[in-house]
């Protein structure tokens, strides 16, 4: 009888350890993924992936980021900015059709995702200026 009681107690304790909380690991917050993608992405009228990646690196450096990784094959650049806090950003570049590049940025402030569209707008405005300057530098 003691053995059966002990077995039941252990089973109950094991099952209570499996109780889940309301925290969702892959939670998208209040916004839909489509809404986030709309302000985190921008299409540029160029087929030159390397040029867009180089402009992305330059733009991030101009904004105070240190480049952690850059991979032309994957079309990805990651950077970190330390200024009393930590801001991380990952930018991916991929072809969209034959004559355009889709650039998507995803940033974090400390451990929280940055969801204010204005921050992404500022980044894309800077990137657009960089692409314009590099395109017209030879003229």
Full-model pTM:
0.74
Rounded Cα distance between 117 and 100, Å, is 22
Q: 């451990």: which residue's tokens?
A: 111
Q: Which residues of 61-97 are buried (b: 16+ CB within 10 A; e: fewer)?
A: eeeebeeeebeeeebbbbbebeeeeebbbebbbeeee
> Domains plus CATH for the chain?
32-127 (3.30.310.80)
Give the pairing of strands 76-82 and 86-95: antiparallel
Asked whether the predicted pLDDT for residue 16 surpasses 50, the reply is: no
Please count the residues of the chain: 139
Percent of the chain at pLDDT exceeding 90: 67
Asked whether the predicted pLDDT for residue 128 surpasses 60, the reply is: yes
């Amino acid at each position: 009888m003691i053995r059966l009681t002990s077995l039941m107690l252990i089973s109950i304790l094991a099952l209570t350890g499996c109780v889940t909380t309301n925290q969702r690991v892959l939670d998208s917050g209040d916004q839909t993924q489509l809404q986030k993608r709309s302000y985190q992405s921008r299409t540029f009228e160029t087929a030159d992936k390397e040029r867009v990646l180089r402009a992305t690196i330059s733009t991030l450096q101009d904004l105070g980021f240190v480049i952690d990784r850059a991979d032309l094959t994957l079309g990805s650049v990651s950077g970190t900015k330390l200024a009393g806090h930590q801001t991380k950003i990952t930018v991916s570049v991929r072809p969209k059709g034959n004559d355009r590049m889709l650039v998507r940025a995803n940033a974090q402030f400390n451990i929280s995702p940055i969801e204010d569209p204005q921050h992404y707008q500022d980044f894309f405005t800077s990137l657009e200026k960089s692409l314009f300057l590099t395109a017209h530098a030879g003229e």
